[in-house]
Amino acid sequence: MIRVFVGFDARENVSFHVLSESIHSRASQPVSIAPVSLGQLGNLMWRQRNDLQSTDFSFSRFLTPYLCDFDGWAVFMDCDMLVLDDIANLWALRDDRYAVQVVKHDHQPVEETKFLGAPQTRYEKKNWSSVMMFNCQKCQTLTPEYVNTASGLDLHRFNWLEDESLIGELPHRWNHLVAYDPPTPVGDISNLHYTIGGPYFSEYRETEYADEWFREREALLKCEQRNS
């Protein structure tokens, strides 16, 4: 079973469901998709919201290994994404040498704000944590106590690992930063990341690759109509 955890924020509810549809509709192996939702985490997440925190799952994403009992592998993804490939192709890249595998962006945004007026922050390894494939047994530092008390920079810069050599690299196609990365043919992209704002927000309805997102949404709605 391919285990996928998706960050959930009620303000982006529709994005969670469209992303899930994009994964399931292309998967060649069984997939379980779970929202990382504060409302379902109960007393596992008690840290107060930070003014720089743009989503509800900014920090709770790091509970993924704990939610898996520190066993096996699991993928975490932000909800503002659209998978255009078989998730089994990502799963096949698991490498036991590493504790976590990510796309190692050199992302240095210049704007001050992003969607819904959220502040745009800049730090080393920015967006590395937006897609993470966890080797959960090697991530036992990520207890609820640590996730709730560590600084945001310690979490997102992977300071919870003993050594940076434990961070493996995934192909860039699995975290294409829309409106940052150069336009690329859709066939060469496995995962679109609408990090500055998804097309489900009115001000980003015409962002790059918006057509792909709306096409997936329509496929989801048609599926619902067939089952109604």
- Give the distance, in angstroms, between the CA of residue 195 and the centroid of all CA atoms in the same chain: 10
Q: Is the pLDDT of residue 111 over 80?
A: no
For position 56, what pLDDT does the model report? 86
Backbone region of residue 4 per phi and psi (left: phi > 0; alpha: psi in -120 to 50; beta: other values): beta
State the DSSP code for 207: S
For position 121, what pLDDT does the model report? 59
pLDDT tens per residue, range 19-58: 999 999 999 999 999 999 999 999 999 988 776 566 889 9
d(CA 52, CA 152): 9
Q: Both ends of the chain: CA-CA distance in Å?
A: 28
Over residues 187-210, the mean pLDDT reads 95
Contacts with 29 (C-beta within 8 Å, 6 or more apart), sequence order: 1, 2, 87, 88, 91
SS3 category, 3: strand
- The edge-to-edge listing of strands for the beta sheet with 131-135 is 31-36, 2-7, 73-77, 131-135, 100-102, 167-169
For position 112, what pLDDT does the model report? 44
Which stretch, 9-18, 90-99, 178-187, 193-202, has highest mean pLDDT? 90-99
Least confident among 18-27, 59-68, 115-124, 157-166: 115-124
For position 123, what pLDDT does the model report? 55
Report yes or no: 130 and 175 within 8 Å, Cβ to Cβ.
Answer: yes
Q: Which fold has domain 2-227?
A: Spore Coat Polysaccharide Biosynthesis Protein SpsA; Chain A (3.90.550)
pLDDT tens per residue, range 62-80: 999 999 999 999 999 999 9
Q: Is the pLDDT of residue 7 over 50?
A: yes
Q: How many CA atoms lie within 13 Å of 220's alpha carbon, on the beta-carbon side? A: 18
Confidence of residue 226 (pLDDT cuts 50, 70, 90): low
For position 160, what pLDDT does the model report? 97
For position 196, what pLDDT does the model report? 87
User: pLDDT > 70: what percent of the chain?
Assistant: 88
d(CA 199, CA 209): 9
Q: Is the pLDDT of residue 110 over 60?
A: no
Confidence of residue 115 (pLDDT cuts 50, 70, 90): very low
Least confident among 86-90, 110-114, 147-151, 217-221: 110-114
Apex CA 152: angle with CA 172 and CA 22, to 5°? 40
DSSP 106-162: ------SB-GGGPBPP--TTTTGGGEEEEEGGG-TT--HHHHHHS-HHHHHTTTTSS
For position 142, what pLDDT does the model report? 98
Report yes or no: 167 and 156 within 8 Å, Cβ to Cβ.
Answer: no
Q: Is the pLDDT of residue 113 over 80?
A: no
